[in-house]
Amino acid sequence: MRFFVGLMGNWLAIEPFLATGTVDAFVMEENCSPPAIDQYAEKYQVALVSVSTIIGVPGTEHEMPYYPQKAEEMADKCIHIAIENFKKRHGKIKPMVPRHVQKAIAGFSTEAVLNAIGNDLQNLVDVIVKGQLKGIVALANCSTLRNGPQDWNTVNLAKQLIKRDILVVAGGCGNHGLEVAGMCNLDAIDQAGDGLKAVCSALKIPPVLSFGTCTDTGRISMLVTALADYLDADISDLPIAVTAPEWMEQKATIDGIFAVAYGAFTHLSPTPFITGAPKLVKLLTEDVESLTGGKVALGDDPVEVAEKIESHIMKKRKAMGL
């Protein structure tokens, strides 16, 4: 029996994953579980298990509200459910696993990034000052089909950013799209601009750092806060930006609002459903900058968005005398 705990696919990848016919039990602990998953569960004989009270997916046979003190017992139950289901479905469902394999270096925490730069933020500051690294973009994001094919905006924007010597730190479902696209391994260094290429080659890190899920966004901000504290600067002074090129879910909305309040230039695509409220649009795209230093930027074209982000980063670099 094999277990995998971690980020191995985004929410749009769940259905094809079940269609491989290899899954005995699928345990859901996030509200981003596709609502029509029961049809796959029925066809491929998967036992659906929910460990959160906020999941209301039809066809969920096993519901276990999560209590941290019962985690071990709950894990045992999930294993038992999978074993029992394996006995029922074995021999009836033919597994079909795609042969394509992609490598990814994942799990960059604040500590791992600091470790990669020798636990000395001055090393990061030095490459920013030299211009080898123009700036850093946090890409925290879902995956949607509303502004193009799955992960198309996310992958193409990341490609444009690294080409411009901007390091991408990624979280959320979009992060997994970047892993699948081969942006989170050392081969991707070849796609970076000359400055970033030199930095990544020296540190042996990919130009897109895979942090984890969307709920790890707060941890990305810890890294940026550490940099701001080190430089004794405000967040809004730094050559950084945030992007959510395929936001979809309410957690992503919260991340976006957090980023603006945090003081970051925050790109969102598709355009949020607020254009019927002109005062709110003005507040988020213009006026809020004088309050927090952050603001919302819009745009659905990866090249144009990358240009906007680069120009914001260059403006901040100039203001810092770089």
Q: Is-contact 172 213, C-beta < 8 A?
A: yes
Q: Per CB under 6 A, does 251 bind ligand SF4?
A: yes
What is the enclosing helix (H) or strand (E) of 256?
helix 250-262
| Residue closer to ligand SF4 (CB basis): 196 or 214 | 214
Q: Are 158 and 179 in contact (CB under 8 A)?
A: no
The site that binds ligand SF4 (CB under 6 A) totals a number of residues, namely 12
Element (H, E) at 22: none
Query: Whole-angstrom Cα distance, residue 175 to residue 107?
Result: 11
Q: Of 46-54, 157-165, 248-256, 313-321, which segment contacts ligand SF4 by CB under 6 A?
A: 248-256
Q: Which residues pair with 180 in a beta bridge?
A: none
- Give the residue with the Cβ less far from ligand SF4, 171 or 293: 171
Burial class (CB in 10 A: 0-12, 13-18, 19+), 163: middle
User: Which H/E stretch holds residue 302?
Assistant: helix 302-319
The residues in 58-87 that bind ligand SF4, with binding defined as CB under 6 A, are none
Among 7, 14, 32, 46, the residue binding ligand SF4 under the rule CB under 6 A is: 32
Q: How far is the CB of 249 from ligand SF4 (least distance, A)?
A: 4
- Residue span binding ligand SF4 (CB under 6 A) among the ranges 1-9, 50-58, 186-194, 245-253: 245-253
Kindly indicate which of the ranges 18-26, 115-123, 244-252, 283-291 contains the residues binding ligand SF4, using the contact rule CB under 6 A: 244-252
Q: How far is CA 185 from the centre of its chain?
A: 16
One-character DSSP codes across 144-180: -STTSSTTHHHHHHHHHHHHTTEEEEEEEHHHHHHHH
Site mask, ligand SF4, residues 152-191, x = CB under 6 A?
--------------------xx------------------
Q: Least distance (Å) from ligand SF4 to the CB of residue 318?
A: 33
Cβ closest to ligand SF4, residue 45 vs residue 144? 144
Q: What separation in angstroms does the CA of 294 have from each of 2, 209, 243?
A: 45, 23, 12
Question: Minimum distance between the CB of residue 153 and ligand SF4, rounded to whole angstroms?
Answer: 14
Site string for ligand SF4, 188-217 (x = CB under 6 A): --------------------------x---
Residue 252 CB, nearest approach to ligand SF4 (Å): 5
Single residue of 15, 30, 38, 289 touching ligand SF4 by CB under 6 A: 30
Residue 252 CA to residue 120 CA, distance in Å, equals 31
Residue 40: both structure tokens together: 């796959």
What is the rounded CA–CA span in Å between residue 52 and residue 31?
Answer: 8
When binding is defined by CB under 6 A, the residue of 252, 259, 297, 313 that contacts ligand SF4 is 252
Dihedral sign of CA atoms 258, 135, 282, 268 in order? negative
Shortest reach from residue 150's CB to ligand SF4, in Å: 12
Candidate list 127, 142, 238, 313; residue touching ligand SF4; CB under 6 A: 142
The whole-angstrom separation of Cα 269 and Cα 247 is 6
Please give the residue ranges that form the binding site for ligand SF4 (CB under 6 A): 10-11, 30, 32, 142, 172-173, 214, 248-249, 251-252
